[in-house]
Structure formats: C-alpha cells, structure tokens
Chains A and B, each alone.
Chain A
Amino acid sequence: MEDLSFSHKARQRAVGTKNMAIIGVVASGNLEVLAERVLPDTECLVEIKTAAEGFGDVWDAVVADFVERTSPGGLKFSINDGGARPDTVSLRLAQAVRLMEEDDQ
C-alpha cells in the first residue's frame, strides 16, 4: 500500500453548501472519494491510499489536471483506491465535486 498527498492552491471556492460527499466503491479497478469542505477557500488537498504502488507521478498529474479544471477550493478529497485507471480517478473526483455543488437538503 502507498500513501500519497497533494496540496494545491485553487483559484476559487467550490460552490455549494454541502459539507460532505462520498462516491465510488473500493474494488479492483475502482476507488472511493470522500470529499469534505474543511479547508480555506483557496486551498485543496487530495490524500490517497492506494493498493497500486509506484504510480505517484501519474496521481500527481491527474490531481493537478483536476484542480486546474474544476478549482475545488476549500475541499479535501480522501481516496481509497483499488487500482483504478487514471480516467476513472478523474471521473470520481469530478463526481465528488458535482455532489458537493448540490445544496444541502
């Protein structure tokens, strides 16, 4: 198992009032993303625990791209990864942000 952590500055705060969202399942080729609105508006953090070791550079690139595209300021993303491909990771991160954009009911 490998633990990775990437913190970034974000251009703007992620919209919405929800404080927590969860998406995905930990299984082969899949991952879960827990998003929490716990950081200052211009910061974001992605922490990963992964069963697939040695892909730090790939995670770095995927996360950097995600932050640049969606600007999820204020959000911390915690990931449990079962060996997902980069496009699945990007999908789940995007899904997590969309869930956070919903209004808290």
Chain B
Amino acid sequence: MSAAHTQRAKLRAGRDGTVSWYEASARTRVRLLLDAGSFLEFIGPEMREVSPHLRVFDLPEQFDDGIVVGRGSLDGSPVFIAAQEGHFMGGAFGEVHGAKLTGLLRAARDIKSIPVLILFDTGGVRLQEANAGELAIAEIVRAVIEARSAGVKVIGLIGGRSGCYGGGGLIAGCSSALAVSAQGRIAVSGPEVIETNRGVEEFDSRDRALVWRTMGGKHRRLLGGADAFVDDTVQDFRDAALELLRSAGDFGIDTLKAEQSRLEERLQLFGTCPDAVDIWKAEGVPDADAIPALPADQFISLADKVRRISRDAR
C-alpha cells in the first residue's frame, strides 16, 4: 500500500459513522465525532492530573480523571469539546474532572466565537468528593450561562451508559440544545435513589421499561426535554451536533420568558399524567404503546410531526 492509500484508509476508518455511541469510550467518541486528526487535548493523561481524593478510599485513579477536554473542528469549524467517561466512577463529577470543564467553558465565554460540545455520560456528583463535585457542577452551571450570554452555543450530546443524572441533568438543562439517543437518559434522581427513598411502588428501579419511558431519550424528545433524537451512531450524533449548532437560538431574557411559558404549559397539560404513555397520548401520538419499540428513523419522523422543536426556549 502506498503511504497516501494508507492515510486515506486511516481517515475513512477514523470516520466510521456506524460505530455505536453507547459502546464507545469517551476518547473514541471525541476522535470519531470531530474531523479526523483535528483534536488537541488540554491537560491530557500524560499530565497525570488525577483525583487527590480517591486514594484514601483505596480506589484507582484515571489519568484524565474521567473527562477528556480540548479543541478540534467539526466540518471545518472550530469547537471546544468535553467528553465524560461513563465507565470511570460512573462518569461522576469530581474536583479535577469538573474543573477541566469549568475552565473550558470560561475560555469559550472569553473567546465568544467557538461553541462547546459537552458529551455527557454521568451519574452526577462523585460521592467520595461530594462537596467538590457539587461545587464543580455549580461553577459549570454559572460558566455555561456566562458563555451563552456571550453568544456561545453549548450543545449537549447524551447517549452513554451512565446517562445524564443528578447535577449533570441540571447542566444539560442549561445548555443551548440537546441531542439524545434511545439509550440516553436524563433525570435528577436516579431510579435506585427514588426507590430507596420512596419505595418500590413509587418507582421500581429494576423495571427497565419504566426507567426508559420516564427518563429515556424518546420520552425526553416527545416531552421537549431534548431537541433532537438520534440513532445510536457517531454519525447521527455528529449530524445532530452540526444541525443544533446551526439552529440553536440566542440566550437572553426572552429565552428565559419563553422557557417559563413552556414549562408552565407542560405542568398544565401533563401535570396529572401518571405515566409517559399518558403524556404521549395527550400529545396526539398515534399508538403510544408502540413508541418504545419503534425504530429510530420512524420515531424521528413521528416526533417531528408531534412536537416541533422550539429553538428559543431553553
């Protein structure tokens, strides 16, 4: 093989769009999402900036503390990117992990012209560093709003094994727009936490269908809690990221007022619905019971008919 042929083959391989987002590591998602070879990492694993709080619990560290942050390009345009590794400590926010994202968002705020992609994959606060994790999330929330106020689009991509829970769910709710796959889940309290606190009658955490109806990507899309639903492939997430970067609205008092109306209306319309299926029926979804099994492309067409995406109310 010639050198040029090898190079082209590598680029094609690096851009294999059918790779499962869910199965991919954070690093693989970053590498395949961005334009080939464009990624420059900030404080990479060779810097060994590990958590100082895990040794005391006899827990292993990860060199990047479970988050990859840096800069690259998407279809030729610069982006900042942060990807959480959902398999390390459940993707949870610790002191160093959170600070990497805070710094990235503050840079975006200062530069104003480069958007931020956040690849969420998190159970929330890392309990061994609970106070530091919670504070990191509070600082990230602030930094997201400051960046958006400076005109920066912050796009969240959700489809990993840890979902987007706890404080991660709040950060997601502060983003300009969200893309979610069927595997993705967004919530504040996790299924086990609800069951532990309120009992199995309130929420059976082992009822996977219930978990996905209540917190999963399809419900979030139909409810308006996410803006785009995608199939579980890197290519689909890439296409959605590009589309959301193009279409996400500005942030200001009008956005907040529109969101207030949107959220008030949701309580009025669906506040007494006992289950997601009741919400979907109320929204006019034909054959609501078939939603969970519906293939991605059919679901996307259906969702586009049922609930138009609002670009100015998040």
Could you list which residues of chain A lie within 8 angstroms of chain B, going by C-beta atoms? Answer: 1, 20, 22, 25-27, 30, 32, 34, 36, 49-51, 78, 80-82, 105
Contact = CB atoms under 8 A, between A and B. Distances in A.
B87 interface: yes
A22 B45 contact: yes
Contacts of B48: 78
B46 A49 contact: no
B59 A30 contact: no
Contact of A51 (B37, B58, B87): B58
Interface of B: 25, 27, 37, 44-46, 48, 55, 58-64, 85, 87-88
B58 A34 contact: no
Contacts of B88: 25-27
Contact of B46 (A25, A34, A82): A34
A3 B37 CA distance: 35
A1 to B, nearest CB: 5
Helix, strand, loop or mixed for chain B's interface?
loop
A80 B49 CA distance: 13
Contacts of B64: 22
Given A1-B55, A105-B37, A32 B62 contact: yes
Contact of B27 (A22, A36, A80, A105): A22
Contact of B60 (A20, A78, A82): A82
Given A34-B45, A34-B46, A36-B46, A26 B58 contact: no
Given A20-B44, A32-B62, A80-B62, 16 more contacts: A22-B46, A25-B25, A25-B62, A25-B85, A25-B87, A25-B88, A26-B62, A27-B87, A27-B88, A30-B87, A32-B45, A34-B46, A50-B60, A51-B59, A51-B60, A80-B61
Contacts of B27: 22
Given A27-B88, A34-B46, A36-B46, A22 B59 contact: no
Contacts, number: 46
Nearest to A105: B37
Contacts of A78: 48, 63
A32 B63 contact: yes
A41 B118 CA distance: 40
A92 to B, nearest CB: 12
B152 to A, nearest CB: 29
A27 B175 CA distance: 29
A80 B63 contact: yes
Contacts of A50: 60
A54 B87 CA distance: 25
A55 B34 CA distance: 40
B61 A49 contact: yes
A1 B60 contact: yes
The 7 closest A-B pairs by CB, nearest first: A26-B62, A27-B87, A25-B87, A51-B60, A22-B45, A80-B60, A26-B60
28 contacts: A1-B60, A20-B44, A22-B27, A22-B44, A22-B45, A22-B46, A22-B63, A25-B25, A25-B62, A25-B85, A25-B87, A26-B60, A26-B61, A26-B88, A27-B88, A30-B87, A32-B62, A34-B45, A34-B63, A50-B60, A51-B58, A51-B59, A78-B48, A80-B60, A80-B61, A80-B62, A80-B63, A81-B60
